[in-house]
Structure 1
Amino acid sequence: MEETVFFNLGNALAAKRDPKELIKEAQIVKDTRDPLGKLVIVEGEGKETLILFDLADQEESSETTQPFTVKKILD
């Protein structure tokens, strides 16, 4: 099931082309953040780049947000 979420690109925690590298980055970020928070990996423009966001930073659709397709949610 495909889900679209809206984020301000300025809230991105990391962006990588290699999914394995982004997972490593997510583990590092998760160790330094609130343990109850969730991180989400989304597809960037052109589906070549994966972007890491904190799910708590999700926003309603507006002129300052962009739609992204969720690839993976990390608990």
Structure 2
Amino acid sequence: MEETVFFNLGNAIAAKRDPKELIKEAQIVKDKRDPRGKLVIVEGDGDEPLILFDLADQEEPSENTEAFKVKKIIE
């Protein structure tokens, strides 16, 4: 399943090149946030790091957003 989502990079929670490190970061953030919220790990085009966002921060495509491919949703 490949899904494209749009986020403003200013809303990023964390960015790392190592997927295992980003998943650890996501678990730490998840433990401190609303349990009903979802976090999403996304990747951009090229050599960009993986980025962690709150799924609630997803936006419609615009000049202020970038397209990312969903790698993992953390519920």
State the TM bucket, normalised to the shorter chain: over 0.9
Using the size of structure 2 for normalisation, the TM-score is 0.95
Amino acid at match of 1:73: I
Q: Which residue of 2 aligns with 1:60?
A: 60
Q: Please, which runs of 5 or more residues in structure 2 have no aligned partner?
A: none
C-alpha RMSD of the superposition: 1.0
Aligned-residue identity in percent? 83
- Cα deviation for residue 46 of structure 1 reads 1.3
> d(CA) in 2 for partners of 1:28 and 1:70?
20
Runs (4 or more) in structure 1 with deviation over 3 Å come to: none
Query: Which deviates more from structure 2 when the two are superposed, residues 38-47 or residues 60-69?
Result: 38-47
Using the size of structure 1 for normalisation, the TM-score is 0.95
Q: Which residue of 1 aligns with 2:11?
A: 11
Amino acid at match of 1:28: I
**Aligned residues between the structures:** 75
Amino acid at match of 1:9: L
